[in-house]
Amino acid sequence: MKNLRFKNVAIEALKKLLEDELRGRMRKNIVRFKSLAELLENIIEEYENNIISSAKVIERLIELAKEIKSAGEAGTELGLSEEEAAFYDALSAGKKVVLKDEGLKDLVKELVKMIKRDLAVDWTNSEVIKARIRANARLLLVRNEFPPEESESILDLIYNQAVSLYRDFVPST
């Protein structure tokens, strides 16, 4: 890409590839990849406002691609599945939450089991199932001594992540 004659074509190609990659990964992990999507928007905005040169944009887009790749591998380094890593990110988004890594991993594994237990076909249209998932997640947060002022925002992240991950869930028979 760096050696292409028309830098604007290279930038558009990289932008499109990164947007597609981020869109696919955000479906699985909203919290982790949303910040990277915002970073992509900022880089492109700086370029369009002539704050940075085309060579610098290409450099920063390549760095962003490397960050996306390493962010995708971060969950496996923790010993978590892809869906568990997504909820781990949602729970650790609250900076004030103080749980040891192992405690948070156990909490995440319990949370994923609890959510999957309550899922059914077309669950996003059932207010009862949605309320049960939120109530069980709230109970889990209370049991693990999450501060009440943080619990609601974390609960929203958990619920949004569940919708994103399990929107098309089909229970195994």
- Which residues have C-beta within 8 Å of that of residue 18, sequence separation ≥ 6? 40, 61, 64, 65, 68
Q: What confidence category does residue 40 fall into, taking pLDDT thresholds of 50, 70 and 90?
A: very high
Give residue 110's pLDDT.
93
pTM of the predicted structure, to 2 decimals: 0.75
Query: CA-CA distance, 73 to 124, in Å (whole number)?
Result: 29
Q: What confidence category does residue 41 fall into, taking pLDDT thresholds of 50, 70 and 90?
A: very high
